[in-house]
Amino acid sequence: MNLKPYYDVLRSTPLLRGMRDDELDVLLPCFNPRMRHYAKDEILLMAGYETREIGILLEGSITALKNTPDGASVAITHMGVGGLFGDVLSGSSQKSPVTVMANEPCLAIYLPYEKIIRPCPSLHAAHLQLMQNLVLTISDKYFALDRRVELLICKSLRARISIWLLDEAERTGQDTFTTPLTRAGLAEYLNCDRSALSRELSRMQQDGLVELWRNSFKILDKERLRMATRGDYQ
């Protein structure tokens, strides 16, 4: 298995952040990772099942879905190339609360959790860095989940949209960005009706908060968006 073409993707992940080529050359043979291709709508991880592997998405995009008591599914998160999944679950005895599904043809590799926390006898310096990265990754996901809960408990749809816009601008480092989410996907992520989302986005554009073009957004007034997250501006 030749993973060298994906080294840039691997080192862009929180788990392998900053790893040099020579360090990846040392680490990956220790893990003997498995690789798998997925078709669109194929399941990478099923809710109710355990996993002892950490997945890294090398190609494509995925969505984590959680079933609600009424049988509907709510999108918890979306990931593109470099997305990491199973990292929190693989270190616990719990079953997955979400189903991870391919939005398009995907390629993923899986690293055994046990081989990450129990290094080979050589104890390479890169492996120590890897374990530190794992702790930071789990910590970051905790705060990301807290942010997601904050978004979902907002009563105002404008507040939810504003939080999402500001988070995406911070994540991309730009006030103009494109999302892989369709309007239906974004409505699902924000837990709202698609038509209600479209109406509110149109109103926000008319109010001079944001410009829209298909799946692209340009933030025009960050301060008023921040006010909207607090319900100070409608």
Q: 16: alpha, beta or left, given left = phi > 0 and alpha = psi -120 to 50?
A: alpha
234 contact partners, CB below 8 Å, separation of at least 6: 156, 158, 228
Name the fold adopted by 4-151: Jelly Rolls (2.60.120)
Return the closest-CA partner of residue 57 out of 38, 36, 35, 84. 84
Check if CATH label 3.30.70.1140 holds for domain 154-229: no
* Strand order from edge to edge, sheet including 84-85: 34-38, 106-112, 53-59, 84-85
AA letter at 172: T
Per-residue pLDDT at 123: 63
State the Cα–Cα distance between residues 102 and 183, nearest whole angstrom: 18
109 contact partners, CB below 8 Å, separation of at least 6: 3, 6, 33, 34, 35, 36, 55, 56, 58
Using DSSP's 3-state secondary structure scheme, residue 10 falls into helix
pLDDT, one tens digit for every residue, the chain (234 residues): 789 999 999 999 988 988 899 999 988 888 889 999 999 999 999 999 999 999 999 999 999 988 877 777 777 788 899 999 998 888 888 899 899 999 999 999 999 998 888 777 766 778 888 888 888 888 887 777 777 788 778 889 999 999 999 989 988 899 999 988 888 888 888 888 999 999 999 999 999 999 999 889 999 999 999 999 886 544
Q: 172: alpha, beta or left, given left = phi > 0 and alpha = psi -120 to 50?
A: alpha
CA 150-101-173 angle, 5° bins: 50
pTM over 0.75: no
Burial class (CB in 10 A: 0-12, 13-18, 19+), 20: exposed
Domain positions in the chain? 4-151, 154-229
Bridge partners (DSSP) listed for residue 109: 35, 56
Contact 36, 42 (CB under 8 A): no
Return the closest-CA partner of residue 234 out of 168, 171, 154. 154
